[in-house]
A and B are shown apart, each in its own frame.
Chain A
């Protein structure tokens, strides 16, 4: 039995790397600094150690050969999930390139709200250490931040010391849209976050008014979607008075049509504030299920984010047409490869297509896939790299135990090799 300290997590998206984990054979126990997201993800037991073909245990070699056989004559295989580490994504993209597949990260439909805004007008963003040391005003838009990342406030807002904020307990935290589900946003001196509650799908209207107020436009209405315009005016003035305001949102939480326009409005408002003689930055929340990792690696390998097809021999990005559900519903896809090394509950979508699952050990299926290859989890069973929410920082994941499970990269490289030989 050993205890490993300073363990980084690929699960929570905010790059916590101070966990202490007790390792007893293949059993893990989070001893220190766990949270509702990380602890169960680390402690998930290994159940499957053998690959299966049609539900029967087989060797890894047989499963790899069967996967290659299923893929060899396909016209448009679909590689979904895409939840793995950097090397896993490298293997995944090499396989996709070889067999002309579509690559689609499972969080992309949410992330699309950010990508469409970024690719249309850009943004001014910041990273977690800047928030920790500079932020004096935090606006949380449409997102329950503490259920997304339970330790966000403890690590980056209520940190005892900051280089440029005299008393971190005095930071202003304001929720717009959804109210927080718990108390994490309450300051250590008891100050509760201000909540300006409105329905999530009212945010476009509310933010249009907020941006207008930031730009000193006249608003005749006195209230918008139940919020007093006077209160929004106070918020606009707070941003102008703040030294380093930060606006955060989770693109996936903005679950209404054309939420990309709301992300764009926020991002343009942030740019406006930077033209009013102060600083302000955006902080999109993400980093779950390997989403940032998938988009980063696909970005440097193809030029595009992780909703890209290779069916014509070169990468083509389409944030709508390359969506897993669209390709399954239309019948365009003719095989499904589901790659998910982090989360046993993120199972492949229902389909009658031949399905190959390269998944975390412990995954259970309503319908047994043609091929199931259990893989190790990056940061538990093998070393690796994962990107956290702010994209700049790739964390170095540690190997904590010897489970004998192969990595995603090993499995996908083997399938790609098998296709090369055929």
Chain B
């Protein structure tokens, strides 16, 4: 079947196309060049419509144990947003931490076709993949979490060389079926198990004597040396602590030019100035990002309202539990591997700290120059549910709307932000970079995030509208792998996406040390720990897409 999308205005930063009238042809799930003779089976008239590739959320908590704890913790939240079944869709619930099926439908209904779980514990990766297997339409993938696992810390204490660490990282990526590597509060989750309650960049783990700086260095090096495209994905030290802007600047300096992605940087950009000893560090952060081309960030914007925070960082989540709203929370220590913490939050525009957090996120978006190195996230659900993205896009693209909202937040927070004076408005092309081409490039996705021939046909069509929120919350059409899945913002058919992974090489002898460790200290056999391809594909719905490493011949 040959599909033709005729006469749309195309924004395809991957090919350098910025608002040009172009026809797009789809065959067998992929975008193809204009065929010379073939008959068009189905044509869509897209005159006056905006065409982009399907959006990619490069950091969203959509799979894994902490999300299911968040769901279980908040039945009253789900009752406010029940989702009916239909002939083609399953029932479920929505809002802060939606059920898996509803996650897939609602992402697709906003024009998203892929989402990446950023905190996949090696020991919980099976669950992350099983949950993501029940998310329809979307492609998915995960960044495997290392840095507080006792195996790595023992290696560092034993002064194992970088090659040994590279092998362990590559082995873990295979075992967990990952496309990236993440570190959360480097070493801090581990330190919490030894009753340390904070861990600065240069502070030693009281048992291992290892510092977060050491961990970042070896992991960022490993990710680079084993050829993984996505740089080490870093949730830094001191999340949420006033004054942590300095920690973040030191982290950037300390990595010495290695590729590094700093995630939800809004939560790591706080100063200590002003009457409330809480101020914006966004300008300093943006300046550092602009200067250091090895660094990429996503923002983790907060938006006002009820949500739930679910994080691997049980040290910081425990410290913040007193802000839980409603007042209930969970932390877990997990399998000498990592941990998690789930704390419901209600961000209020009339609360000084929350209001300034909102402004800090927006300042960051607007002060970082290069849209290829900054990504649109709310750290779903931690800053806000992903369903708030169209509102966030309007805040970025519409200065008068932004200033209108700004004028309603806590007055002292208004005084502490430069937001009102920032004139920048994001363009459609910049939005397409942040949410499509840039994200695909950052993760290393081959054949996704672009609209040139050869790409998979993940395509979103919008009606241009000056109200950008309205425009982005209800696409006219969404195609996933060439299949029409959404019309006028509603799912019309479903399918199953693929799981994106990379498979870096490792020396098989790495399993010698691991087997000994598992037999002595772990609760399962090494062979039972590793996830096989079958586990993802055997139900006939899932598939695995292996992406190239850096240095592979394209």
Contacts and interface: CB of A to CB of B under 8 A. Distances in A.
A313 interface: yes
A383 interface: yes
B343 to A, nearest CB: 9
Contacts of A8: 524, 528
Interface stretch (B15-23, B325-333, B458-466, B496-504): B325-333
Nearest to A274: B318
A314 B127 contact: no
Interface string B126-138: 1100110010000
A71 B170 CA distance: 50
Interface stretch (A127-135, A175-183, A363-371): A127-135
A394 B99 contact: no
**Which residue among B92, B194, B524 has the maximum number of chain A CB atoms within 10 Å of its CB?**
B524
B-side binding surface: helix, strand, loop or mixed?
mixed
Interface residues of B, number: 66
B193 A130 contact: yes
Contacts of B121: 392
Interface in A302-329: 302-305, 310, 313-317
A44 interface: no
Given A15-B523, A302-B92, A244 B78 contact: no
B124 A392 contact: yes
Interface in B77-93: 78-79, 82-85, 90-93
B185 interface: no
B130 A86 contact: yes
A133 to B, nearest CB: 6
A238 interface: no
Contact of B68 (A133, A134, A161, A299): A299
Contacts of B335: 127-130, 392-393
For the side of the interface on A, what is the size category? Answer: 35 or more
A15 to B, nearest CB: 6
A392 B330 contact: no
A304 B78 contact: yes
A218 interface: no
B71 interface: yes
A86 B130 CA distance: 9
B539 interface: yes
Contacts of A249: none
B508 interface: no
B43 interface: no
Interface string B494-537: 00000000000000000000000000111111011001101100
A315 B126 contact: no
Contacts of B68: 296, 299-300
B528 A17 contact: yes
A163 interface: yes
B530 to A, nearest CB: 9
Given A163-B336, A279-B192, A393-B126, 17 more contacts: A8-B524, A120-B328, A122-B324, A122-B328, A125-B332, A126-B333, A161-B520, A163-B154, A163-B521, A277-B195, A296-B68, A299-B71, A299-B72, A300-B71, A302-B93, A394-B130, A396-B532
Interface of A: 6, 8, 15, 17-18, 86-87, 90, 94, 97-98, 115, 118-130, 132-134, 155-156, 161-164, 243-244, 274, 277-279, 281, 295-296, 299-305, 310, 313-317, 383, 385, 391-396
